[in-house]
Amino acid sequence: MSAKAWHIGVIGGSGLTEGVGLDNAQQIAVDSPFGAPSGPVTQGTINGVKFTFLARHGAGHVIPPDAINYRANIDVMKRCGVTDLVSLSAIGSLREEFAPGHFITVDQLIDRTQGREGSFFGTGMVAHVSLADPTCPRLRELLALSAHQCGAVVHPRGCYIAIQGPQFSTRAESVMYRQWGADVIGMTAMPEARLAREAELPYAILGMVTDYDAWREEEEGVVASEVFATMKANGDMAKAALRHLADLLPPERPASPIDTVLDHAFATAPAKRDPHVVAMLDAVAGRALRNS
């Protein structure tokens, strides 16, 4: 496959609903067959690199984690021509060494969410992609380097457990998640990461530690207003890391194995595919469907 230009999608989480400061920014409403995304996207450039931004919880943070239309959000990113997707997320820490104010580029995920639409595929068009490594190492390393060079304390790896929310965890859950091997906790990376993989989008999470969750007995539980205050204090660093990412990208984007994961994923025989389902997959899977 020949190299193409980078187009970085950014899904901004808590405390980052107002964008990341793109040059020549333009707001565009993009429709999706999967329903309404969290809002219009903002497109612009940084250092000549194209960026598309979407506020995960909508303008003014009106959509809770369990009501986000993750499918529409990822579909819209794909429809815009995004090649690589960055999630900016507020996260709780399950480890002493990941202190509030620190950043982490997550590599692994555990899914404890329930009842969220977790796949673009289904009856009439079945597909199975590997999620063994749910985040993209190349994008993760670039993001970690970028945040580090901007002066952030960055942990290059960690396992994120996605809980259903909207309540924060009990102390017993928090202790159990530590025993499971989770390092940080949030409410949104799943099914976002699953869907990004199905859409052949390399995905990486730049998490900003906002609190110590509930496992430390000497501390009060999590207070949302404190999470937002920490985010406010660190939001500029996240934006700086994104801007600097544009400087670190090589001029051409080498192909990633994630660009073509659907080539080996389809289970349904071509003659048995439901044309209505296939039509909805035009952006997410059009490339692979045309070749299969």
Q: Which residues bind ligand ADE (CB under 6 A)?
A: 90-92, 163, 168, 185-187, 210-211, 213, 222, 227
Q: Report helix, strand or coil for 291.
A: coil
Q: Please, which residue, 175 or 248, has the CB nearer to ligand ADE?
A: 175
The answer on whether 203 is annotated among ligand-binding residues is no
192-217: burial string, b at 16+ Cβ within 10 Å, e else: bbbbbbbbbbbbbbbbbbbbbbbbee
Report the nearest approach of ligand LNRAV4D5 to the CB of residue 265 (Å): 27
Residue number closest to ligand ADE, CB atom: 92
* 56 known member of a binding site: yes
Q: Which is nearer to ligand LNRAV4D5, 68 or 262 (CB)?
A: 68
Residue 89 is labelled as binding a ligand:
yes
Task: Answer with the entry of ligand ADE, ligand LNRAV4D5, none that 221 interacts with (C-beta below 5 to 8 A by kind).
Answer: none
**Torsion region of 99: left, alpha or beta (phi above 0 gives left; psi -120 to 50 gives alpha):** beta
Amino acid at 269: A
Nearer residue to ligand LNRAV4D5 within complex by CB, 6 or 168: 168
Residues that bind ligand LNRAV4D5 (CB under 6 A): 13-14, 56-57, 65, 89-90, 165, 186-188, 224, 227
Judged by beta carbon distances under 5 to 8 A according to partner kind, the member of ligand ADE, ligand LNRAV4D5, none in contact with residue 13 is ligand LNRAV4D5
Distance set, CA 63 to CA 71, 72, 230, 249 (Å): 14, 14, 20, 32
Among 84, 213, 259, 263, the one annotated catalytic: 213
Q: Are 33 and 21 in contact (CB under 8 A)?
A: no
Shortest CB 261 distance to ligand ADE, Å: 28
Name residue 45's beta-bridge partners.
23, 50
- Asked if residue 14 belongs to a known ligand binding site, the reply is yes
Residue 57 counted as an annotated binding residue: yes
Helices 70-79, 282-290: inter-axial angle, 10-degree rounding: 60
Q: What is the DSSP letter of 251?
A: S
Which of ligand ADE, ligand LNRAV4D5, none sits in contact with 211, Cβ below 5 to 8 A by type? ligand ADE
Contacts of 146 (CB under 8 A, 6+ apart): 241, 242, 244, 245, 247, 248
Residue 213 among the catalytic residues: yes
Q: Is 211 a catalytic residue?
A: yes
Query: Is 90 known as a binding-site position?
Result: yes
Rounded least distance, CB 243 to ligand LNRAV4D5, Å = 19
CA distances from 71 to 111, 120, 132, 165, 247 (A): 16, 7, 20, 19, 30
Burial of 11 (0-12, 13-18, 19+ CB in 10 A): buried
Cβ 178 to ligand LNRAV4D5 shortest distance, Å: 18
Active site residues: 211, 213
